[in-house]
Amino acid sequence: MNSHEIVVRQLEIEDIPGIIEIEKACFPTPWTHHAFRAEMRNKLAVYQVVETEGKIAAYGGMWLIMEEAHITNVAVHPSFRRRGLGRKVMEALVAEAKKKFSQRMTLEVRKSNTIALELYKSMDFVISGIRPGYYHDNGEDAIIMWKELTIADFLL
């Protein structure tokens, strides 16, 4: 692989240390190695990573529950932001959800996370509600968003 090539692919066990590095850089309560190993055994879980310049630069995951895709995490390492990788991860999750015939997708995002909110809105996720005080670390509200996967999505 050319070092500047961008590859989007399924999570593999060797990727976990790179993902933990991203978690630690992005979130106040990062998921552990153990949590990701458990996710790899979880038959409902789908995780995608973005690899470039010899590094895991971004990743995202979701659980496919009946006809719904519940996004669990999306994160881009701070040194790889604003290069379209967050969008690539989201597009990969949408594509996987469509392959598994999900009808809709959902996620929660901190009210203050305007960057992520802009990304999700630009991909037709719509705000449907608020979970007050959802985040334990600072009591922040979560915004709940949904995206319907229409017939047109399946034709793309």
Ligand X SMILES: CC(C)(COP(=O)(O)OP(=O)(O)OC[C@H]1O[C@@H](n2cnc3c(N)ncnc32)[C@H](O)[C@@H]1OP(=O)(O)O)[C@@H](O)C(=O)NCCC(=O)NCCS
Q: CA 151 from chain center: how many Å?
A: 23
Q: What is the four-CA torsion angle of 74, 79, 84, 86, rounded to 10 degrees? A: 0
Pick 38 or 115: Cβ nearer ligand X: 115
We find the least distance from the C-beta atom of residue 53 to ligand X, in angstroms, to be 14
Decide: is 118 part of the binding site for ligand X (CB under 6 A): yes
Name the residue with tokens 């929660």. 108
Which element (helix H / strand E) includes 66? none
108: annotated active-site residue:
yes
59: annotated active-site residue:
no
Pick 88 or 102: Cβ nearer ligand X: 88
Residue tagged active-site, from 21, 91, 108, 140: 108
We find the least distance from the C-beta atom of residue 95 to ligand X, in angstroms, to be 15
Give the helix ranges, DSSP H, for 51-144: 85-99, 114-122
Distances (CA, A) of 38 to 3, 41, 136, 149: 30, 5, 22, 28
Decide: is 74 part of the binding site for ligand X (CB under 6 A): yes
Binders of ligand X among 15-34, rule CB under 6 A? Answer: 26
Decide: is 106 part of the binding site for ligand X (CB under 6 A): no
Which residue in the shown chain puts its C-beta closest to ligand X?
86
> What is the C-alpha separation between 72 and 45, in angstroms, rounded?
9
We find the least distance from the C-beta atom of residue 13 to ligand X, in angstroms, to be 22
We find the least distance from the C-beta atom of residue 40 to ligand X, in angstroms, to be 21
Beta pairing, strands 7-10 & 45-52: antiparallel
Q: Summarize as ranges the residues that interact with ligand X (CB under 6 A).
A: 26, 74-76, 81-87, 109, 113, 115-116, 118-119, 122
Residues taking part in catalysis: 108, 120
